[in-house]
Amino acid sequence: MELLVRDASTADVGPLAQVAYASGLGEHDSGADKNYVEYLLTHGRLVIAEDHNDDPIGYAATIAVGERRMLTDLFVRPDRQSAGVGRALLDEVLTSSTNPMTFSSQDARAVTLYTRHGMSASWVLLYLRGDPTAVSRPPGWTVDTVPTQTAAVLERAITGLDRDEAYAYWASRPRAAAVVVVSASGQEVAAGAVGGGGDEYGVSHLSCRSPAEAADATVAVLAQLTGTARVCLPATHPAVGPLLAHGFVVADFDLFMTTRPGEPAPPAALSPALY
């Protein structure tokens, strides 16, 4: 099969959406989401694969997280899978990447592909979904809605990472807000963002100063939300147990894969942007 892998552009929003919908993705945070595509084009690398008829058959994307590169997307139309398209896309976006990482689905073909590129599964990321009104904000804790720059400044103090662009993107999502969590002692202990459309609505990101504060901070943010909400947590995150006890369920899970074998999950952060 003739295959062309090239850099995508804003003109490819339609073709990217074709692949996204064929892959079972929704209209938010996928190739069908114009804001998401523009974020990847501006701050990452997004490539598209076409056949000899110029029909779109797959796409892949990466973003920089500190000094590392995260594979955020790799999708191939179901009718074109197992033909080397995924491998060609991965080769292109991970060229010269140092210590790449990704969240793999449970698809055996995806795990095999990433393993062949030097990554190994290190831990499980849970997609928890539930009714946030079932949880109560810890006594004395507050969650303040703040400008994105305010949250990004606290994020840098906590993680050392510059996430200005990520916070700007999270703020563009439906029902979005940047937040700072203040503990009962009056300390700013976490920075993050909430929002999202459809099934993506929930906690977009949250970085906490310490594992001891992570469960209360996560619950405090969730308690501000309305309607069914999603939160993505490493299976070892201290908020997992309390949320399951309050009726949240594991709707899905991914495998964190990295070229650093045995790399542990961050103890005080939640995903999809963990680091």
Residue range 168-210, pLDDT digits in tens:
999 999 999 999 999 999 999 999 999 999 889 999 999 999 8
Map tokens 């300390």 to a residue.
187
Q: Record the pTM.
A: 0.91
As a CATH number, domain 127-252+265-270 is 3.40.630
Q: Which fold has domain 4-98?
A: Aminopeptidase (3.40.630)
Long-range contacts of 146-153 (CB under 8 A, 24+ apart): 146/178, 146/179, 146/180, 147/178, 148/178, 148/193, 150/178, 150/180, 151/178, 151/179, 151/180, 151/191, 151/192, 151/193, 152/178, 152/191
Domain boundaries, the chain: 4-98, 127-252+265-270
39 — pLDDT class (breaks 50, 70, 90): very high
- Give yes or no for residue 273 having a pLDDT over 70: no
- What's residue 262's pLDDT? 85
